[in-house]
Structure 1
Amino acid sequence: MSHSFARLRRGVPVLAVVGTLLVPVAGGTAVAAPGSAAGVLAAGSPSPGPSASGADVRDLTPSVARRLDAAVKKVMREARVPGVAVGIWTPDRGRYVRSFGVADKSTRRAMTPDLFTRIGSETKTFTVTALLQLVDQGKVALDDPIGRYVHGVPNGNRITLRQLAGMRSGLFNYSADDDFYKALTSDPRRPFTPQQLLDYSFRHPVLFPPGQKFFYSNTNLILLGLVVEQRGGQRLADYIEQHVLDPAGLRDTLFPTGSEFPTPHARGYTDQTATGKVEDATGWNPSWGWAAGAMISTLDDLRVWARTVATGELPDGGRMISANLQKQRLVTPATPIPGIGYGLGIFDVHGWIGHNGSLPGYESLTVYLPAARATLVVVLNTDINHAGQEPSTLFGEAITKIISPGHVFDLPAEPAAR
């Protein structure tokens, strides 16, 4: 099986190797690395005087901006990325918002920072946030078995909601099923229902007892989406809009019901096709990702969401979820790979907290570094790997080597294996 085929069969995943990653931390808690971010965040010296965090940062200097420009262009050139938009925000006036390349290879329309984009597995952060709100309300408990809410789940009486959110259920990933892959690539505009997606998973035996280890599976999020609908009393898209997007002020973020895509947006290019040739995937139906990967957003909305999801705090000073649940969200068992962890629908890569997304035609990366109160968002219009790496990871690594060399967003490439 080719690597590109393996990549689509991973499904909506975002981390190149998220199925094997968590950070080993004493006591099982993964949090942002303490202290100020090293290096430049960015021009470097802290602002005089105290601040809420004690670590303000001045504007990015022109020399730093030039280094970032060069690094982004180098990744674009080497990975053959048509277009990318990058946003870096630090306290006070420090920011860098640039776009490069084209949004449409046919017309050569320029990429701009204001475009809508498909965000793939960043959807998981919204679905899990909705679930945690219901926990705060006492409508569900993280240690409830999924079988209490959804019938027919293998090991459903043993797998907890916490294990689903933390990718430790042992359930087979539906997007790795041969028949699912054939159905999707033969007609990428077709709709899928949540039950159809679960059926692809449940035909396979469980991979391991629940809680035994970490394994990234989109099946987990489909089940959590159904729990949110059942206990929230609304369609998942409506619940997330009313209880997550509206409180956070995310007016340009949405959960589509089909292939609708607000304008303006970039065209998206993928090699995840039946023929293996590069195609325009802009109008493909993301319903196959549903609670695991169907959502749409913008660079600026993701800027707001990065801090919200990493801290549990709303822009107006209120809370999206309770401090206690936010603390639990960032708890993760130890794994063999130092510095990288996955909590409840959220990862920690050397202190950068958030998620990334990949589905045919688009990739994104939305992360927040509490140590410097800094935000990084990258959106691009291809998901075609370069040298076995997700292009969003390549951008994240190149950028953070400049702005936070003590906290580099680097992820090992996943081997091409069935």
Structure 2
Amino acid sequence: MRRTHDRGLFAATLFVASVLAPVAAAPAVTVPAAAVGRCHGDECPGSTLSPELTSQLDRTIEEVRQQAGIPGVVVGLWMPGKGSYVRATGVADKVTGAPMALDSRVRIGSETKTFTVTALLELVDQGRVGLDDRISEYVEGVPCGDRISLRQLAEMRSGLFPYTSDPGFIHDLESDPTRSFTPREVLAYGYRHDNTFGPGERFQYSNTNLVLLGLVVEKVTGRPLAEVIREGVVRPSRLRHTFLPAGAEFPQPHPRGYTDQTPTGETVDSTDWNPSWAWAAGAMISDLHDLRRWAEVVATGRLLSPETQAQRLMTLPTGFPGTGYGLGIFETNGWIGHNGSIPGYETVTVYLPTQKATLVIMINTDSGTGNQEPSTLLARAITAIATPDNVYDGSATAG
């Protein structure tokens, strides 16, 4: 692949100001009846925001979509006291021209990390693990594992080499993106390299950390991670269409996904690629309704004790202005949550506690514009209009 697969939060330059040039104003987006799908009340397509704000959002989203080359977009913005905005625009299938649908299911990439870490923190609340336990107590063979804590893994401060940056892994995955990987197989790619720094010294986003935490959850519970997440996280949160797949399964309805993460940079349909290589770090599937609910659950700590949630939200510097990372969750200019990127799909699911606002974005490409993530372009543009004091973009505070 041309780009590392350790994407989804801090890929290359995640928080970079948009340089998209303005285009002619687009008409308000109309969602076809077939795209409505399952919805209730303010989850349904439309807007209860002011006409001026609605028009601005319609126009801006369409501008970003067209200029960034995003096939299809689903956006949900809920702002108590001001209203909601729910839209689907563009296409789910570039061949047939089928419209993007609000009830689409998508691969959520690194948003999976919020689920895996929640499962771990529930074990902390149960007294079955400690955040300062060493990973060597649960998983053998981890380089410097007797010095790396579970907390440092969740904070992305372990120093373990990201397996997705290993040339051998990239070669093997691009040679057959439908193949299945086990957690131990992907970790082995990372173990070929020396650790990049000492435990706790600095931040480095790495899927290696979350695969190890997934193995810890399985070791302590004696159950598959997918089952633990389903029973302990998804069901208590009342999520109906969210799960960790065993392989490439992808229930309908879902849009086709498009990526340029190929040896030549050619854009291809990656819908049926196997995400097993991402596992606990990035393989889950969800939809708009569930992500809206999850945004508040994870940001407010509804499944955890107040003490454990406080530790989760104790963010440390990342090197990206305005953005800190806690335990499997980030905070940027007031927004709390995570984003995700996996070949063919990107998502953003964040919650703004000061306004009790929720933003969910789902798109069917991960092909960037320059070095900019398309989902970040959308999130920055939307929040610049809807919450100008809290723009989803670290560069907003970097001058």
**1:111 equivalenced with 2:100 (yes/no):** yes
1:288 alignment counterpart: 277
What are the superposed Cα offsets for residues 253-294 of structure 1, whole Å, 9 maximum, x if unpaired? 011000000100000000111332110000000000000000
1:26 alignment counterpart: none
CA distance in 2, matches of 1:297, 1:357: 11
Aligned pair partner of 2:380 in 393, 397, 411: 397
- 1:14-413 matched pairs, under 5 angstroms: 14-16=9-11, 59-91=48-80, 94-313=83-302, 320-334=303-317, 336-411=319-394
CA distance in 1, matches of 2:339, 2:352: 14
Conservation of the 8 A alpha-carbon contact between 1:222 and 1:292: yes
Query: Any gaps of 5 or more consecutive residues in structure 1?
Result: 22-57, 314-319, 414-418
Instruction: Give the match's secondary structure for 1:345.
Output: coil
What are the superposed Cα offsets for residues 174-232 of structure 1, whole Å, 9 maximum, x if unpaired? 00000100111110000000000110001100111100000001000000000001112
CA distance in 2, matches of 1:136, 1:329: 12
Structure 1 residues 367, 182: closer, same or farther in 2, change over 3 A? same
Aligned residue type for 1:352: W
How much does 1:90 deviate? 1.8
How much does 1:338 deviate? 3.8
Aligned residues: 366
Aligned residue type for 1:408: V
Structure 1 residues 19, 213: closer, same or farther in 2, change over 3 A? farther
CA distance in 2, matches of 1:127, 1:374: 24
Structure 1 residues 103, 411: closer, same or farther in 2, change over 3 A? farther
How much does 1:336 deviate? 4.8
Conservation of the 8 A alpha-carbon contact between 2:318 and 2:325: no
Conservation of the 8 A alpha-carbon contact between 2:152 and 2:200: yes
Instruction: Report the RMSD for the aligned CA atoms in angstroms.
Output: 1.8
Instruction: Give the match's secondary structure for 2:236.
Output: helix
CA distance in 2, matches of 1:339, 1:12: 19
1:54 alignment counterpart: none
How much does 1:12 deviate? 4.2
How much does 1:388 deviate? 1.0
Query: Any gaps of 5 or more consecutive residues in structure 2?
Result: 17-46
CA distance in 1, matches of 2:148, 2:341: 27
Conservation of the 8 A alpha-carbon contact between 2:317 and 2:323: no
Conservation of the 8 A alpha-carbon contact between 1:16 and 1:412: no
CA distance in 2, matches of 1:19, 1:408: 14
What are the superposed Cα offsets for residues 336-390 of structure 1, whole Å, 9 maximum, x if unpaired? 5442111000000100000000010000000000000000000000000102100
Conservation of the 8 A alpha-carbon contact between 2:138 and 2:216: yes
Output the TM-score relative to the length of structure 1.
0.85
Conservation of the 8 A alpha-carbon contact between 1:18 and 1:216: no
Q: Percent identity?
A: 56
Q: Which has the higher contact order (CA 8 A, sep 6+)?
A: 1
Question: Mean alpha-carbon deviation: is it higher for 323-332 or for 375-384?
Answer: 323-332
Conservation of the 8 A alpha-carbon contact between 2:258 and 2:268: yes
How much does 1:18 deviate? 8.1
Conservation of the 8 A alpha-carbon contact between 1:341 and 1:348: yes
Output the TM-score relative to the length of structure 2.
0.89
How much does 1:19 deviate? 9.6
How much does 1:59 deviate? 4.4
Aligned pair partner of 1:5 in 2, 6, 9: 2
Question: Mean alpha-carbon deviation: is it higher for 330-339 or for 11-20?
Answer: 11-20
Instruction: Give the match's secondary structure for 1:247.
Output: coil
CA distance in 1, matches of 2:192, 2:14: 21
CA distance in 2, matches of 1:297, 1:14: 18
Instruction: Give the match's secondary structure for 1:248.
Output: coil
How much does 1:333 deviate? 2.8
